[in-house]
Structures are given as structure tokens and as C-alpha cells.
Amino acid sequence: MKLNGKKVLVTGGAGFIGSHLCEALLEKKNKVVCVDDFSTGQMANISELQENPDFKVVKKDVMDKGFKEELKGIDAVYHYAAIVGVERTLSMPVEVLNIDLLSVEKVLRESFEAGVKKFVFASSSEVYGNPVEIPENEDGHVNAKLPYAVSKLAGEKFLRAYFEKYGMDTTSLRFFNVYGPKQDSTPYGFVAGIFIKQALKNEPITIFGDGSNTRDYVFVKDNIKGAILSAETEKTAGEVLNIGSGKPTTLTDLAELIIELTGSKSEIKYLPPRPDDIRHRFPDTSRMRKLLGFKPEVDLKEGLKKTIEYYKRK
Ligand code: UD1
């Protein structure tokens, strides 16, 4: 389904990734309904979109009874609402399992009942846990241990079940580490933003562990391109897809690059590892490239520069 002139609903639309998605969907001349309970979503993330008459913001929890009213006439749903951030999800295990699991089931069921044609779910590379094999392949082993990862994996299974039983066009996207403007850079946030903030203040860059952990960083605009293509391509029906760059970066390399790009006087401080931290993430991106005909274009240096500019203005 070409996402142009369609009606698209984004849950978690005021979040970091959700707000960039809303912006891109509006640029493609869709009508966009952003549903967010503003638990971690921020009005500031979407303030520039509010003037657009095609943009509607609904402050509502997807678990509310009235949520389904918003689904009337919607062509596609992106379900991005979730409890996010490692510190937060670790401190709320029961809520993560209850809320995230029940919400994907409810949003999916109500979307199906409302006749939504395409349903995209933000899953996570976290489902691989500490990887059993490298690169991490969608058909390979998953090692989901954290409640957050388990809820994402179960969400994927709900989508697959709706595809198998009802022929609904559903797609789960396993996001690798997305970074960019608007990302939470508080201690509850994510590593690139945290390091940039520390570097701009010339404070020590706090690396958990010996700095050799690797992650696959994807600039948010590239992540959004992949997400939009995955809704536009029929080949993704019923599929699970990694969305990554395929270029792992160590924490020390990330910190050094950020110090260089900001011209910071910060020093790197190595702290004890985070309990149960994932050591390595490295996606097999062949399915993404094959089905979407897409690979991320913004390299880490360029993406970090754009992100640093944003934090400087803040
Ligand atoms: C988290 C999410 C994952 C998501 C990813 C996206 C959970 C459980 N996991 O994983 O689903 O795909 O973000 O961005 O919610 N680090 C430091 N110093 C810091 C902060 C972090 O060294 O001050 C290290 C961490 O120990 C880790 C790496 O940086 O090794 C990345 O951490 P973080 O940004 O929190 O995300 P992930 O653990 O990759």
C-alpha cells in the first residue's frame, strides 16, 4: 500500500522514533493520528507538526476503552507505544509484561476489527538477547530473557498469528540501536544521547564495562525509511525483519568519535558493567535489503554530527 494520501495511526507517536515517523508520514501527504499517553512521549517532539491540518494528536492510553474509536477509517497502524529505556524497563518488570503484552494484543485485535489493512509493530533487537549466533538472523535463535524482550517476541507472534489465521498484512521490525535528534538523553535514555550530552559538558563519558560491547547504530531517518518501505511492500506480509546497518561499533569507538566531533575535553571513565548487559549486537540485514530494496545511507559520523547539532541547540 503506497503511503500517500492514506490515513495512518501511530501509537507512541510523541516518542523519539514515533515523532520522526509522524513527520515523515505527513511529508508524504498522509493524514496522521498520533496516539500517546505522554508517559514518556513529549509534546515538544511533535510541536512543529501541530500546525499541519493533517495531523491529529490524541492523548490517550491504547488500553483505554475508547481507543478503538480512533481506528475508524484508518488504513495503516504503526504500533510503537511501549515502556522504553533499559533502566526503566528493568525497574518495571511486571508493568512491562502486563502493559506491553496486553497492549499489542489489544491494538492488533481492534485494528483487525476496524478493517486496518497494514499493521507494523516496533519489535527490538533485544529479542536476540545475548546472541547465540552472529550475525543475528530472523530465522535463527532468539534468546529473549528480559521482560521487555519477551513482550516484543510475544508481540511478533501475535502479528504472525493474525497473518496466518486472518490473512492480515502484519510486519514486525526488529530495530537495532536507533539514535538521533529528540532521543532521551537522561540517565533513563540511550547511549548516543547520553555520551553527546556528557561530551558537550566536558564531563566524563561513562562507559559500562571495558568498552568492547558492540551495537549496530542506525540514524533515525534511515530507520523511518525502512519502516515506511516495510508498509509499502506487500512482500513483508507476515514477516519479521531486522532493521540495522550491519556495521557494529564498540562503545569505546563511539565515545572517541563523539569526543572528536564535539571537540570535547571529556575523558572516558570505565565503570562496572551493567548487570545482564548484552555484549554484542550484529544483525544479518539480508532480508531487509532483499524485501525492502533498502539499506541505511547515513553513516555514523554524519548521523552523530546531526545529532550533536540538535543537542547544541537544545
Ligand atoms: C536498548 C533497548 C533495546 C533497543 C535499544 C535501542 C531495553 C531492554 N533495550 O538496548 O530494545 O533496541 O536500546 O536504542 O530496553 N552504555 C554505557 N554508558 C551509558 C549508557 C549505556 O556504556 O551511560 C552502554 C550499555 O551498557 C550498552 C550500550 O551502551 O552496552 C547501549 O545501551 P542503551 O543505549 O541503553 O541500549 P541497549 O542496551 O542497546
* Domains along the sequence of the chain with CATH: 7-178+220-245+283-297 (3.40.50.720)
In this structure, the residue with its CA closest to atom 5 of ligand 1 is 177
If you measure from the C-alpha of residue 242 to the centroid of ligand 1, how many angstroms do you get, rounded to a whole number? 17
The three grid cell numbers given for residue 102, joined into one nine-digit string = 496486553
Is the CB–ligand 1 distance for residue 194 below 6 Å? yes
Average pLDDT (90-97) is 92
Per-residue pLDDT tens digits for 137-187: 999 999 998 999 999 999 999 999 999 999 999 999 999 999 999 999 988
Separation of alpha carbons 50 and 55, rounded Å: 6
Strands 169-175 and 239-243: parallel
CB 106 within 8 A of CB 63: yes
pLDDT category of residue 45 using cuts at 50, 70 and 90: very high
pTM: 0.97
If you measure from the C-alpha of residue 223 to the centroid of ligand 1, how many angstroms do you get, rounded to a whole number? 17
Residue 80 annotated among the catalytic residues of the structure: no
Residue 236 has pLDDT above 90, yes or no: yes
If you measure from the C-alpha of residue 286 to the centroid of ligand 1, how many angstroms do you get, rounded to a whole number? 24
In this structure, the residue with its CA closest to atom 21 of ligand 1 is 191
Q: What angle do CA 229, 84, 143 make, to 5 degrees?
A: 80
Strands 31-36 and 55-59: parallel
Separation of alpha carbons 100 and 251, rounded Å: 29
Is the CB–ligand 1 distance for residue 207 below 6 Å? yes
Is the CB–ligand 1 distance for residue 242 below 6 Å? no
In this structure, the residue with its CA closest to atom 1 of ligand 1 is 86
User: Which of ligand 1's atoms lies nearest the C-alpha of 84?
Assistant: 15
Cβ atoms within 10 Å of 184's Cβ, excluding its own: 17
CB 240 within 8 A of CB 36: no
User: Which of ligand 1's atoms lies nearest the C-alpha of 126?
Assistant: 11
Separation of alpha carbons 57 and 185, rounded Å: 24
Output the DSSP codes for 129-162: -S-SSSSB-TTS-----SHHHHHHHHHHHHHHHH
If you measure from the C-alpha of residue 278 to the centroid of ligand 1, how many angstroms do you get, rounded to a whole number? 8
In this structure, the residue with its CA closest to atom 31 of ligand 1 is 191
What is the distance of C-alpha 288 from the center of its chain?
16
Per-residue pLDDT tens digits for 46-71: 999 999 999 999 999 999 999 999 99
Per-residue pLDDT tens digits for 99-122: 999 999 999 999 999 999 999 999
The three grid cell numbers given for residue 92, joined into one nine-digit string = 518495571
Single out the catalytic residue among 148, 162, 179, 217.
148
User: Which of ligand 1's atoms lies nearest the C-alpha of 274?
Assistant: 26
User: Which of ligand 1's atoms lies nearest the C-alpha of 273?
Assistant: 26
Nearest Cα residue to 268 out of 186, 194, 190 = 194
Q: Which helix (H) or strand (E) holds 118?
A: strand 118-124
Q: What are phi and psi of 118, to 5 degrees?
A: -135, 135
Residues 6+ apart with CB under 8 A from 125: 136, 174, 175, 176, 177, 216, 242, 244, 281, 283
What is the distance of C-alpha 47 from the center of its chain?
20
Residue 257 has pLDDT above 90, yes or no: yes
- The pLDDT of residue 107 is 98
In this structure, the residue with its CA closest to atom 27 of ligand 1 is 277
